[in-house]
């Protein structure tokens, strides 16, 4: 069995996931969120697209069996396991600007966005090229009548996980979320395993 790698609280990381490898993302302590983004390793202008994925899946709640598409309509990965069933694909990562605008913080944390910027520098991916992320375990119900979006504590308990299988060679960026509202103000770590 492969090693569980830990992303410390309020931080991010990046790595390569080769075609057919599986990425298991584990909510180690429960009620934590991981913002996830990916790029085609061989052409970084191809990135994970929430708009295409939601269009083709015909749902905003992506789960086991769903395919995730790039901006060029190619399949980047499939979710093959999901013990939670509630994730978000509408919102951009928390950021210093978000903490200022929504929380009124005067000295804000750089957030998942800042952590992804830092982590993806290694692959020469610029901040402007970090789009809406797939926010694993993030619980964002939508009121279908009013359209109102709420951010609630994740439904995930300790040990809950999803597994994503790559359908192309990917650069992955991932965080342990920095926004109190999305993880019930617990700021916990996130674990992951790359399985061959």
| Residues that bind its own copies in the complex, under the rule CB under 8 A | 45-46, 49-52, 54-56, 58-61, 71-73, 90-92, 95, 97-98, 101-102, 126, 128, 130-133, 141-150
Beta-carbon-side half-sphere exposure of residue 75 (alpha carbons within 13 Å): 14
Greatest CA separation found in the chain? 47
Sign of torsion over alpha carbons 69, 134, 169, 192: negative
- Give the C-alpha separation, 87 to 155, whole Å: 9
Q: From the CB of 23, what's the least distance to its own copies, in Å? A: 22
Q: From the CB of 184, what's the least distance to its own copies, in Å? A: 18
How is residue 115 written in tokens?
Answer: 């952590």
Q: From the CB of 92, what's the least distance to its own copies, in Å? A: 3
* C-beta closer to its own copies: residue 4 or 121: 121
Q: From the CB of 181, what's the least distance to its own copies, in Å? A: 11
How crowded is residue 1: how many other Cβ atoms within 10 Å of its Cβ?
Answer: 5
* C-beta closer to its own copies: residue 144 or 196: 144
* C-beta closer to its own copies: residue 97 or 195: 97
């Amino acid at each position: 069995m492969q090693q569980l790698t830990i992303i410390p609280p309020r931080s991010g990381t990046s790595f390569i996931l080769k075609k057919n490898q599986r990425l298991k993302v584990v909510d180690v302590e429960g009620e934590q969120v991981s913002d996830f983004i990916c790029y085609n390793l061989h052409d970084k202008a191809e990135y994970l697209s929430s708009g295409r994925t939601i269009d083709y899946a015909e749902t905003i709640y992506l789960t086991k069996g769903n395919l995730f598409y790039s901006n060029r309509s190619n399949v980047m990965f499939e979710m093959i396991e999901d013990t939670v069933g509630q994730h978000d694909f509408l919102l951009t990562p928390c950021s210093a600007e978000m903490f200022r605008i929504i929380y009124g913080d005067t000295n804000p944390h750089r957030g998942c966005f800042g952590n992804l910027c830092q982590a993806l520098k290694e692959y020469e991916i610029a901040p402007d090229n970090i789009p809406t992320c797939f926010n694993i375990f993030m619980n964002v119900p939508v009121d279908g009548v009013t359209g109102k979006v709420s951010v609630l504590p994740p439904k995930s308990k300790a040990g809950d996980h999803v597994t994503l299988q790559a359908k192309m060679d990917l650069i992955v960026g991932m965080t342990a979320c920095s926004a109190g509202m999305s993880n019930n103000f617990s700021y916990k770590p996130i674990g992951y395993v790359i399985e061959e």
